[in-house]
């Protein structure tokens, strides 16, 4: 494990919020997948979740693209990077 960069508090807050939203939306999709009757009854909600997942994934990817450019992390771009929300750092971990 290697600390690649220290992040600002607002940068961590933004990606943490986005990550949690994506995680929650994915949980809802699992619920819809397990209970087909929910899909039929709440079709409008299902479509909104699908759209929100797409939008949130784009926001998540954009955050990473922006951070990679801002901190000159291009050499790390294809590596296994993750954000440590507690310590406000980006960490490289070997798989």
Q: What three-state secondary structure class fits 54? A: helix
> How much is the mean pLDDT over the chain?
90
Domain limits at 47? 2-92
pLDDT grade, residue 78 (50/70/90)? low
- Residue 57 has a pLDDT of 97
Write the pLDDT tens digit of every residue in 34-77. 877 766 677 788 889 999 999 999 999 999 999 999 999 988 76
- Total number of domains in the chain: 1
pTM (2 decimals)? 0.86
Whole-angstrom distance, CA of residue 40 vs CA of residue 94: 43
What would you measure as the largest C-alpha separation in the chain, in angstroms?
Answer: 48
């Amino acid at each position: 494990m290697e600390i690649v960069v220290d992040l600002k508090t607002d940068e961590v807050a933004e990606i943490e919020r986005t990550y949690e939203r994506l995680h929650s939306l994915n949980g809802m999709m699992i619920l819809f997948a397990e209970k087909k009757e929910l899909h039929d009854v709440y079709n409008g909600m299902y479509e909104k979740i699908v759209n929100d997942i797409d939008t949130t994934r784009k926001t998540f990817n954009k955050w990473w693209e922006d951070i990679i450019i801002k901190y000159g992390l291009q050499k790390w771009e294809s590596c296994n990077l993750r954000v440590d929300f507690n310590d406000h750092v980006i960490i490289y971990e070997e798989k």
